[in-house]
Amino acid sequence: MYSGVLRSFWMRVLSPPVDLAPERRRSFQIFARTYLFVTAVHVAFMPLFLWVGIPLLTGLNLLCIAVNVLAIRLHCHGYFVLALLIKLAAAAILITVASMLLGNDIGFEYYFFIILFEILISDLSRPQKLLLSGILMSLFLAMIHWLSGLLGSWSLGEPARELLHAVNLATVFILITFIAMQVYSVSETTERRFRSDASRDSLTGVYNRRAIIECAEALWEQRRSLALLLLDADHFKQINDTYGHSAGDKVLRHIAQLLQRTLREGDSIGRVGGEEFLILLPDTSCDEALSVASRLRDQLVAQPCPLGKRTLPVTLSMGLALSYEDKALQGVIDLADRRLYVAKSAGRDQLVAEGGDSLETMVHGEIFTGSSSREV
Ligand SMILES: Nc1nc2c(ncn2[C@@H]2O[C@H](COP(=O)(O)OP(=O)(O)OP(=O)(O)O)[C@@H](O)[C@H]2O)c(=O)[nH]1
C-alpha cells in the first residue's frame, strides 16, 4: 500500500504540466528529481545538525526542508524560476551562516559549486545565469575572506570538525554525481522520445510515412530481397460518415494493432496515407508474402473492430510487389500502388500480386479480365 502511495506521489511530482512545451520537459524532470533528492539530503542532515548543537543551523536546515517542499509544489505548478530561486537562496543562506559560525575549514563552501551547477543547467536565460553566477562568486569570495568565522563563538573539537568536513565533501560528491546522472538519463530518455515521436504515426503508433520509406531505403541499400505490401481499408469514408470520425480512428488503430500482432519481428509497418498502410517484408519470397497477406485477411475476418456493443467488419485491398520487379525502390512502390488500385477496381477485399505493370494496361481495363487479379 505504501509503495502504491509513494509511486503515485512520485508520478505526480515527475509529471510535467500538460501544457508545458516539449523542449522544457527535460529541465522539468531534472529539477523535480533534484528537489526531491536535496530534500532527502537535508532530512538526512538533521541528526548531524542536532549533534553539532547549534540551534540556528538546525532551524535553517528545517527552513531549507520547508523551502524545498514549497519549491517542489511551485515547480509542479509551472513556477520554475521562483522555485529555483527560493531553493537556491535558502541553501546559500544556510551555507553562509554555517561558515560564519564554524569557519571555512569545514567544507560548507563546497556547496556553492552545487548551486553554480544548478544555475548553469537550469532553464534561466543566459543573462540571468551570468548575473546569478556573479552574485554567487562574490558571496563565495566574501565568505572565504571576510564572513568565515565572523560569528565563530562555537568551538567544535578537532574530531568533530574533521567528521563534518568529510561528510560535507562526500555529500557534495554525491549531489554532483546524482544531478549529473539525472541530466544524462533524462536527456537520453527525452532524446529517445523525440526520435520515436518523429518517426511514429501518432494515431496508430506504427511508423509514419517518412520513417517507413527510410526503412525501405535502408533495406534496398543492403540489397535484401524485399516484399512490399500496400494495404488500403475498403469503404473507409463510409465508416467515417456512418459512425463518425472517432470510430474511423478506432478502426485504423485496430488495423494497425492487428498488423503488429500478425507480422514477424523483422517486418515493418507504416501508415503512408489516411487509411493506407505499407508493410515491408524483408527476405520474403512471393509465396511467403502471399501467405502473410492471407493470414492478415483471416485475422481481420476473425477479429472485426469492436465498436461499442457491436463489431464492425473491415476489409482490406492489397497490392504486392517484390524488389526484383524493378531497378528502383520507387518503381517497386509504384507497382504495389498500381496493383492496389487494380484490387480496388476489381471489387476490393483482395490482393493483386501480378500485372499492373503500366498505367495504360489499367486504363484499358485488361486487368479485370486477365489473370493479374488474384484473390487471397
Ligand atoms: N477517421 C479518420 N479518417 C481519415 C483519416 N485520414 C483520412 N481519413 C478519411 O478516410 C477517407 C478515405 O476515403 P476514400 O479515399 O474515398 O477511400 P474509401 O472510402 O476507403 O474508398 P475505397 O478506398 O475506394 O474503398 C476520407 O473520408 C478521409 O477523410 C484519419 O486519420 N482518421
Which 3 state secondary structure label does DSSP give 227? strand
Q: Which three cell numbers stand for residue 99?
A: 561558515
The pLDDT value recorded for residue 357 is 64
Is the per-residue pLDDT at 4 higher than 90? no
Distance CA 321, CA 325 (A): 7
pLDDT bucket at 1, cuts 50 / 70 / 90: low
Cα of 365 vs centre of ligand 1, distance in Å, is 25
Is the per-residue pLDDT at 84 higher than 90? yes
Q: 352 has which bridge partners? A: 319
The residues annotated as belonging to the active site are 275
Is the per-residue pLDDT at 361 higher than 90? no
245 lines ligand 1 (CB under 6 A): yes
Q: What are phi and psi of 321, to 5 degrees?
A: -140, 150
242 lines ligand 1 (CB under 6 A): no
Listing DSSP states for 40-103 in one string gives HHHHHHHHHHHHHT-HHHHHHHHHHHHHHHHHHHHHHTT-HHHHHHHHHHHHHHHHHHHHHHH-
For atom 16 of ligand 1, the residue with the nearest CA is 237
Contact in structure between 321 and 228 (CB atoms under 8 Å):
yes
Pocket test for ligand 1, best of 245, 275, 312 (most atoms within 8 A of CB): 275
118 lines ligand 1 (CB under 6 A): no
pLDDT bucket at 199, cuts 50 / 70 / 90: very high
For atom 31 of ligand 1, the residue with the nearest CA is 274
Q: Which of ligand 1's atoms lies nearest the C-alpha of 234? A: 25
Which 3 state secondary structure label does DSSP give 202? coil
Q: What is the pLDDT averaged over residues 281-296? A: 93
The pLDDT value recorded for residue 368 is 34
Q: Which three cell numbers stand for residue 95?
A: 551555507
The pLDDT value recorded for residue 211 is 94
Is the per-residue pLDDT at 242 higher than 80? yes
Residues 6 or more apart whose CB falls under 8 angstroms from that of 339 comprise 230, 318, 319, 320, 321, 352, 353, 354, 355, 356
Q: Was domain 209-368 assigned CATH 3.30.70.270?
A: yes
For the ranges 48-52, 224-228, 238-242, 251-255, the lowest mean pLDDT is seen at: 48-52
236 lines ligand 1 (CB under 6 A): yes
Q: What is the pLDDT averaged over residues 178-202? A: 90
Cα of 211 vs centre of ligand 1, distance in Å, is 21
Which 3 state secondary structure label does DSSP give 307? strand
244 lines ligand 1 (CB under 6 A): no
For atom 29 of ligand 1, the residue with the nearest CA is 237
What residue has cell string 535484401? 224
pLDDT bucket at 364, cuts 50 / 70 / 90: very low
What residue has cell string 470520425? 245
For atom 11 of ligand 1, the residue with the nearest CA is 237
For the ranges 25-29, 35-39, 50-54, 178-182, the lowest mean pLDDT is seen at: 50-54
Query: ipTM for the complex?
Result: 0.92
pLDDT bucket at 22, cuts 50 / 70 / 90: confident
For atom 12 of ligand 1, the residue with the nearest CA is 237
Query: What residue spans define the domains of the chain?
Result: 10-199, 209-368
Contact in structure between 140 and 147 (CB atoms under 8 Å):
no
